[in-house]
Amino acid sequence: MYDNGMIAPVVVLAAWSLVMLFWLYATRIPAMRAAKIKPGSATKAQMETMPAWATNPANNYNHLMEQPTIFYAICFALELLDQANDINIGLAWLYVAIRVVHSLVQATINIIIIRFLIFSVGSIVLIALTFHALIAIGFVNINLPH
């Protein structure tokens, strides 16, 4: 798994996003049937009346289509810049783990302060990866002591 550099974490997070897509359908379809909401004619107001166990996985899936897009781009950039070193690979796997935990919290207990803290830690990891990419392209010049 570690021989794939920055690509393996990207693939695993994409696969996790698909798990959340299945979770979305597994909860949303039964909830819509119970509420007698027709998929083609559902209004936003009707969708907002659905129970949290059905909306939380859907909301999380939407979140996985937002910030992780930056993660994907940065991982590919680091790989192409030959920066798939142990630190960056470790940070990428950490980001994936954080997003999985975030998903599980949001889809189940959905305590906002816990989600916020998890999201914040993930954002810091993503900032670190982006900073490493900025260094790799020469946009940020760091002169470390020898």
Cβ-based burial of 9 (10 A; exposed 0-12, middle 13-18, buried ≥19):
buried
Structure pTM? 0.92
Report the alpha-carbon distance of residue 58 to residue 52 in Å, rounded: 10
Domains and CATH numbers, the chain: 2-136 (1.20.120)
pLDDT digit of tens for each residue in the chain (146 aa)?
457 999 999 999 999 999 999 999 999 999 999 998 888 888 888 888 899 999 999 999 999 999 999 999 999 999 999 999 999 999 999 999 999 999 999 999 999 999 999 999 999 999 999 999 999 999 988 775 65
